[in-house]
Amino acid sequence: MVSPADARPEAAPPPSESEPSRPDLASDAAAAASASATAASASMDDRPTVAIVIGMAGSGKTSLMQRVNAYKHAQGKPPYIINLDPAVTQTPYDANVDIRDTVDYKNVMKEYNLGPNGGILTASNLFATRFDQVVSLCEKRSTEIDNVFVDTPGQIEIFTWSASGAIVTESFASAFPTVVLYVVDTPRALNPQSFMSNMLQAVSILYKTRLPLVVVFNKIDVARHETLLRWMEDFEQFHAAVDENPTFASDLSRSLSLVLDAFYKGLRCAGVSAMTGEGMEELFDVIQRARKEYMDEYLPELRARRARRDGETEAKRAEEAEKVKRDLAADSRGEALVMDGSNVTPESFVGEEDTV
């Protein structure tokens, strides 16, 4: 296994004042990662699975990362772990790549006069400008590992709806079979309104990332998740639970459950306990099925988009070349006209105007 010390020195240095603007850097990062993935897309079968772990604060996301790390170590197949939370004080696992080694969250807050959330967002954006280097590190280890796990900030919207989150997601999805794990706090989700909030969040993540999604019900040692699965399979059972406490929110939840019924049918779920390790085998089985979905559905779409983009680029080049040819031909005709009308002088034109 490659130790964290081996990987971390290769992480990108913080951008200096002399570097280009952040939007340009972000564009360059995404373009560089996409370019490095073009040649690699044909060999996706041999590449490790990247699992981007997303979850609300308190869902047990980081504890789950620790459990996953221990589970894979016990199998003799240590995962490659990336921490993207710049504000975490300490992690219960050793990360191979850690954003805190590159960007100092507190200094970012001081330098830009930001609050906690603004500091996390800005630190993430700064790190994303060099994310092609992180993808390169993973590519170097791709023959040695089976899984890459990415721990994201607890402020879910900072990753899901930010430019840095899009860069991270698209960069990985272009280079590796990539899935998203959405971690749910099972005891809290037993409240029908909380359950519906989590399902709406899962829908938004699915449509934002357009990647295979696995809903991971965590903390099943505290409360079992079978009730939640029954709510997803039979909306009438969910309606019965909602009717126990009728409010405006419960009426909204009833309506939304009907809308999401089709969404539930294609959703992959797993129940786990980060505390006891229960459900780890099931989780990795579901991740493997999600990987297959990536290979069968996402990858062909990715290649089709890339082919369309290359075709549009080639067509644009051909159009520009044709335009240059037309301009050159027009210039040649213009020179011939001047030679044929060499006896015409400006004075003759003035004379014609006077005549008129």
In a domain, 287, yes or no: yes
User: How many domains would you assign to the chain?
Assistant: 1
Q: What CA–CA distance (Å, rounded) separates 39 from 305?
A: 15
In a domain, 348, yes or no: no
In a domain, 193, yes or no: yes
Q: What CA–CA distance (Å, rounded) separates 256 from 331?
A: 66
In a domain, 14, yes or no: no
Q: Indicate which CATH number applies to the domain containing 124.
A: 3.40.50.300
In a domain, 174, yes or no: yes
Q: What CA–CA distance (Å, rounded) separates 233 from 265?
A: 8
pLDDT tens digits, the chain, 356 residues: what are they?
Answer: 444 444 443 444 444 444 444 445 445 554 554 554 444 454 788 899 999 999 998 999 999 999 999 999 999 999 999 999 999 989 999 999 999 999 999 999 999 999 999 999 999 999 999 999 999 999 999 999 999 999 999 889 889 989 999 999 999 999 999 999 999 999 999 999 999 999 999 999 999 998 999 999 999 999 999 999 999 999 999 999 998 887 778 888 888 998 898 889 889 999 999 999 999 999 999 999 999 999 998 888 888 887 888 888 888 888 888 888 888 887 776 654 444 444 555 554 444 444 44
Three-state DSSP class for 58? coil
For the entire predicted model, the pTM comes to 0.76
Q: What CA–CA distance (Å, rounded) separates 55 from 137?
A: 25
Domain boundaries, position 108: 45-311
In a domain, 122, yes or no: yes
In a domain, 320, yes or no: no
Helix/strand/coil percentages in the chain, nearest 5: 65, 10, 25
Tell me which amino acid residue 211 is: L
Three-state DSSP class for 199? helix
In a domain, 196, yes or no: yes
